[in-house]
Structure 1
């Protein structure tokens, strides 16, 4: 056996797996599950027609693992197309060893948050909510979120961390880690738009309630009972329809929803019962400071004001959130 292996030393690093086999990360999971593999876009008529045909042949609630071509345009068109067919997305093209992680045990680390939240006594302040983006991205839990989680300033300021309730099946060990190491200021919430990435207005009305009912158990088991919802049609953010609001109310029964990624913030009560807070996205500390300063300038100070800021996870860190919070005056309450 001595000559079966060759040992070499050199000054060049060996090629990475990505260089050897681009986009091979999900291959083991596809093989293990005997899944159909295809790569089709939505911008080429011939490809879109075949894409439509494939999607029409699978049951409602089927997951689509992987991603799309053409960056954000491909994302918006692709997620909308799949939503039209009652199919949700798990962005997993960079997820390593999913076959192994899906076989780990869910230990249920840490207490689950209570569904019944005691309403605090409000003051005439500007209440600021911070929410990290990318919870629609399944592999984000394995990569960028873990880096952010290791920030030494995590836990100093209350932050919503969008994640995927499907970690319960797909990567229990990761879910165990986040739950067991979360501080009182770390709140895991369901990324867009609940049990998977989809646009609810684009989802057929006749299948949405059943899908939400089926996936509601994942939100409860993971403690991610507050959904962050993205809702796009024809590449545009759109308001939630009455039927969608009712479907969320009846099946997820959330205390409230976080909605969209806009250039403005706001709060409204839909159907007279469901609080919905629109998120205004920021990518720097300076963005947040400007938005909050403008909010203060327009505020009369006679009643509470609620501002939801979305933190672009690729740009910002918990340290940035602490820096932003420390720059605020006593009239702000994070």
Structure 2
């Protein structure tokens, strides 16, 4: 799915926490679920920013640290065949090793292997990835064991691991690899995340880095191979207006396994963003109602087996694109009639299976950077009861601090989380799936670039269109899916803008250099939301906004990204508000920009005479055909009286460069497709 925070008075909670008093000043809710908890982590903490990490350098004017350059060959280990437990073990080892000197590169999936030849470092492959434990045994003091019955202890263990030079392991792994168990979290906490993180803040925050906050899910859902789903119901038409809202009933008796049945809801048309929306569910067994709930509340919780990237809002649960969600229902032996009534709408597919289709494993990615920097790792939802605790943690850091990772509850978590961080001057960087940060940050590469020269053309009475792939604020997108799109042979065939984060200068300079070096004359890198990280500028305190725009200006000057794609604070069910003058003026003062493309969807925002020329995105849902239809309608409705400027946004998850090529080749002849730099040169002259 990304730099700042309010200046505290001497008596604020931030001032108290930063001063080392500890989280007792936060009133985070007292003792943990098991009052004893683990002993406070000791060992060398290297002052206020944690243990000694000679390879990690926090440089002035940068939001992330950089690491030393690798010396000698980097050890490459392929984890693609390992489960989440072994991956977590190795990623924690990677963080410990690389904070002293970057030496380990891990392959989690194919794209990690794709990058290797472009990194410019010598490599040595390990035949057995787990042999790294023996090779680097002297760097490890032992293991911290987490409790899968209280899975948030995985995040607690990650923070403790950094403090005490431990790998994060299960008890079985510790025995197998002859690791001394230094800290054992089993049985010390109930499965109450809020209490676990309250203990973490009270006991671990003081000696954690205050330059970086990390938010990671403790676990992830993994599909079980060989699961056989039976499709029971499908919407065959494209329905995006809820016109098919009704109660639909599916019979499940033949799908029951050993006392349980699993029901999945997924998107019938994954390219248009209008998957199933469920408003109510009722299960009836042999005439007796055994489950009756509205999504999003506590009554749904016993039945929600896997949220699968779905989101909730206004008493509904919905899943678009590749997302889905699964309910699990218990069914007694001998039941003859089992029916599920779903009040739902839009483009649904309902399927069922008799066996558990997924399993839970630890989430491993990005923990190497958390351990190497000695960051506190949490997973506190930004709304609800835990929202205040998350907010108090934000208040404990200075304006311009980065919150890296992500938020729970998908879209709702994103909007509320980014808004909350923005109100406290904290920059968000989507990073939870970013791999190898602790080695990529240490591989140097030139990333300075100069913007193109201004166009001398004057706008004519025609339509000018620029097309931009979104998601580039997301460093894991830049590392993973962007590379896949970039390697599409159709890239470069027509003008395309690619959002990318300038923070790659810190966390992946070789990646940024690759995109800069291999860009064609039809490719333009533009800055992803909303500059030096993902934020909502209109939610920033007025007296702190310049912290973010100044940081954005520094990165812009070094990377040459002179067009920004920016967000305003979303208002559910309403059009995106236009970025206010104070935000545009701050950008104008501190960032050398040609223009800003901001979220809009309808393309109704257009102000070439603003402090920074501003235009809203035109973003019709769907594939090429529906996009072209909506675009043609907009041109026919709004064009003809002077130049018409349209900033089209492309769904980076569902579209490819080949799709964009098809779209451009299907446009009317009087539409000129431009890269965003020339587009804004002409747009500004139309004022």
Determine helix, strand or coil for the equivalent of 2:472: coil
CA contact (8 A) 2:502 2:555 kept: yes
- Distance in 1 between residues matched to 2:82 and 2:436, nearest whole Å: 20
CA contact (8 A) 2:467 2:648 kept: yes
Determine helix, strand or coil for the equivalent of 2:619: strand
Alignment of 1:30-41 (within 5 A): 30-41=370-381
Residue 368 of structure 2 is aligned to residue 28 of structure 1 = yes
- Indicate which of 451, 458, 463 corresponds to 1:126: 463
- Distance in 1 between residues matched to 2:451 and 2:361, nearest whole Å: 42
Residue 269 of structure 2 is aligned to residue 201 of structure 1 = no
Residue 220 of structure 1: CA displacement?
2.1
Alignment of 1:250-289 (within 5 A): 250-271=589-610, 273-282=611-620, 283-289=622-628
Which residue matches 1:5?
none
- Distance in 1 between residues matched to 2:626 and 2:530, nearest whole Å: 25
**Of the two structures, which has the highest relative contact order with CA contacts closer than 8 Å and spacing of 6 or more?**
1
- Distance in 2 between residues matched to 1:75 and 1:300, nearest whole Å: 36
Residue 392 of structure 2 is aligned to residue 53 of structure 1 = yes
Determine helix, strand or coil for the equivalent of 1:81: helix
Residue 199 of structure 1: CA displacement?
0.3
Which residue matches 1:159?
496
Residue 502 of structure 2 is aligned to residue 175 of structure 1 = no
CA contact (8 A) 1:131 1:162 kept: yes
CA contact (8 A) 2:603 2:647 kept: no
Which residue matches 1:227?
564
Alignment of 1:291-310 (within 5 A): 291-310=630-649
- Distance in 1 between residues matched to 2:637 and 2:411, nearest whole Å: 34
- Distance in 2 between residues matched to 1:106 and 1:245, nearest whole Å: 32
CA contact (8 A) 2:443 2:508 kept: yes
Instruction: Classify 1:254/1:265 alpha carbon distance in 2 versus 1 (closer, same or farther; 3 Å).
Output: same
Which residue matches 2:528?
191
- Distance in 2 between residues matched to 1:32 and 1:22, nearest whole Å: 19
Gaps of 5+ in 2: 1-80, 88-219, 223-359, 674-687
Number of equivalent positions: 318
- Indicate which of 24, 32, 43 corresponds to 2:383: 43
Higher fraction of helix: 1
Deviations 1:31-81 (A, max 9, x none): 000111111002322x11111111001000000110000010000000000
Which residue matches 1:139?
476
- Distance in 1 between residues matched to 2:581 and 2:400, nearest whole Å: 21
Residue 396 of structure 2 is aligned to residue 328 of structure 1 = no
* Greater Rg by CA: 2
What is the TM-score normalised by the length of structure 1? 0.90
Superposed CA RMSD: 1.9
Which residue matches 2:83?
15
Residue 233 of structure 1: CA displacement?
4.8
- Distance in 2 between residues matched to 1:15 and 1:55, nearest whole Å: 33
Higher fraction of strand: 2
Gaps of 5+ in 1: 1-12
The more displaced of 209-218 and 234-243 is 234-243
CA contact (8 A) 2:430 2:476 kept: yes
Residue 136 of structure 1: CA displacement?
2.1
- Distance in 1 between residues matched to 2:490 and 2:651, nearest whole Å: 17
Which residue matches 1:94?
433
- Distance in 2 between residues matched to 1:300 and 1:215, nearest whole Å: 35
- Distance in 2 between residues matched to 1:14 and 1:213, nearest whole Å: 43
